[in-house]
């Protein structure tokens, strides 16, 4: 069986309170991409105004020393992925993002480029959601209908970005994020869910996964109590699911 060449940086959120776009993780992005990557292919499908979104992403990546091409400007999206040096998928609506990935025939193409060819993949929020088994644990509303909830499957578990505990002083009676993940795990054969709080990210290199950033993550596994994990935690065991 081939060992995956995964090189992933899966970020919970694009903007952290008090900072600019990708500012809280820009040092990690530079270290992750290194000097070999010259241009990044941006996939802005999660937002409707793709021109504006691409402009924001381009300004950030150029400030870090990388050129950026947006796939929505390419004549052939599949060819753009096949020629890419690195891929960045940003946040927005996960259902819209996944639908457009399917509609443009990009699911298997991206998976092959990342897992078999080993090109770097950066996901943020919705872009992190689609890197997992499915988008069943996204926080977003299903504003459109993708052909399937199955995602890129770059890792064999799910992630809940922007994970947050309920405000104990709030009178809101709706379900908590934890309760919704518990409901997901009532279904059979559901994989673990890693709740990434804003400010943290998961670095995956081959068969190794490490929590980075400034906040903790909360791990949910079917039939087990949730567990808290500090930055630096080795999550490689999740890749063996």
DSSP notation for the chain:
-PPP--EEEEES-SB-TTS-BTGGGHHHHHHHHTTT--EEEEE-TTSS-HHHHHHHHHHHHHHTT-EEEEGGG-S-HHHHHHT-S-EEE--S-HHHHHHHHHHTT-HHHHHIIIIIS---EEEETHHHHTTSSBSTT--S---S--S-SB---SSSSEEEET--PPPTT----SPPHHHHHHHHTTSTTPPPEEEE-TTEEEEEETTEEEEEESS-EEEE-TTS--EEE-TT-B-GGGGG-
Is 125 catalytic? The answer is yes
7-240 belongs to CATH 1.10.3720.10:
no
Q: What is the pTM of this model?
A: 0.95
Place 142 in a pLDDT band, splitting at 50, 70 and 90. Answer: very high
Q: Mean pLDDT across the chain, nearest whole number?
A: 95
**pLDDT the model gives residue 172:** 66
Residue 185 has pLDDT above 60, yes or no: yes
**pLDDT the model gives residue 137:** 97
Residue 11 has pLDDT above 90, yes or no: yes
Q: Catalytic one among 70, 84, 124, 125? A: 125
Q: Catalytic one among 162, 221, 229, 236? A: 162
Domain boundaries, the chain: 7-240
What pLDDT digit, counting tens, does each position of 33-73 carry?
999 999 999 999 999 999 999 999 999 999 999 999 999 99
Q: Catalytic one among 7, 70, 140, 185? A: 140
Is 162 catalytic? The answer is yes
Residue 169 has pLDDT above 90, yes or no: no
Place 84 in a pLDDT band, splitting at 50, 70 and 90. Answer: very high
Is 28 catalytic? The answer is no
Place 174 in a pLDDT band, splitting at 50, 70 and 90. Answer: low
**pLDDT the model gives residue 4:** 77
């Amino acid at each position: 069986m081939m060992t995956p060449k995964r090189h992933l940086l899966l970020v919970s959120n694009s903007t952290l309170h008090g900072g600019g776009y990708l500012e809280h993780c820009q040092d990690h992005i530079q270290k992750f991409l290194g000097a070999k990557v010259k241009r990044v292919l941006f996939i802005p499908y999660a937002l409707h105004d793709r021109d504006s979104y691409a402009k924001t992403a381009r300004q950030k990546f150029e400030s870090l020393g990388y050129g950026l091409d947006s796939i929505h400007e390419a004549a052939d999206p599949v060819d753009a992925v096949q020629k890419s040096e690195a891929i960045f998928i940003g946040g927005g609506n996960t259902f819209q993002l996944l639908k457009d990935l399917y509609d443009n025939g990009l699911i298997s193409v991206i998976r092959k480029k990342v897992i078999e060819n080993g090109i770097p993949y950066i996901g943020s929020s919705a872009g992190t959601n689609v890197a997992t088994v499915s988008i069943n644990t996204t926080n977003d509303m299903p504003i459109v209908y993708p052909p399937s909830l199955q995602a890129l499957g770059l890792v064999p578990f799910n992630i809940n970005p922007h994970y947050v505990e309920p405000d104990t002083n709030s009178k809101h009676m709706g379900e908590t994020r934890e309760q919704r993940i518990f409901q997901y795990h009532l279904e059979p054969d559901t994989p673990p869910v890693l709740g990434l709080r804003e400010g943290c990210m998961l670095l995956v290199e081959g068969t190794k996964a490490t929590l980075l950033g400034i906040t903790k993550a909360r791990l949910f596994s079917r039939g087990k109590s949730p567990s808290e994990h500090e930055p630096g935690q080795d999550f490689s065991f999740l890749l063996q699911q």
